[in-house]
Amino acid sequence: AIQLTQSPSSLSASVGDRVTITCRASQGISSALAWYQQKPGKAPKLLIYDASSLESGVPSRFSGSGSGTDFTLTISSLQPEDFATYYCQQFNSYPQPLTFGGGTKVEIK
């Protein structure tokens, strides 16, 4: 199965900071990558699909980039409502299993 490694696993940041989370795939997945935000007690929410396409209704401070094996989620100016856990997911692999990264928890500094 394709492994996704997210880094860092957690970070502390302040409101207004620029935050970058990376996701590395164990083999090339083209642009078949999505990013999700999950808050405690809630289902995940799709932010980015196809590596860089912003889901409808998601604020433009979120952006995604990358292709092949290296991907990035950037929050240009962190807002109070952005403190959450973020996951990457690859969907290039059928019939191999679809996989998620281990998550990155963004906490308040």
What is the contact surface with another protein in residues (CB under 8 A)?
Answer: 1, 32, 34, 36, 38, 43-46, 49-50, 55, 87, 89, 91-95, 97-103
Nearer to another protein among residue 67 and residue 93 (C-beta):
93
d(CA 104, CA 70): 16
d(CA 20, CA 64): 10
Q: How far is the CB of 89 from another protein (least distance, A)?
A: 7
Q: How far is the CB of 14 from another protein (least distance, A)?
A: 25
Nearer to another protein among residue 83 and residue 100 (C-beta):
100
Is the CB of residue 5 less than 8 Å from the CB of residue 103? no
Nearest Cα to Cα of residue 6 among 33, 31, 39, 42: 33
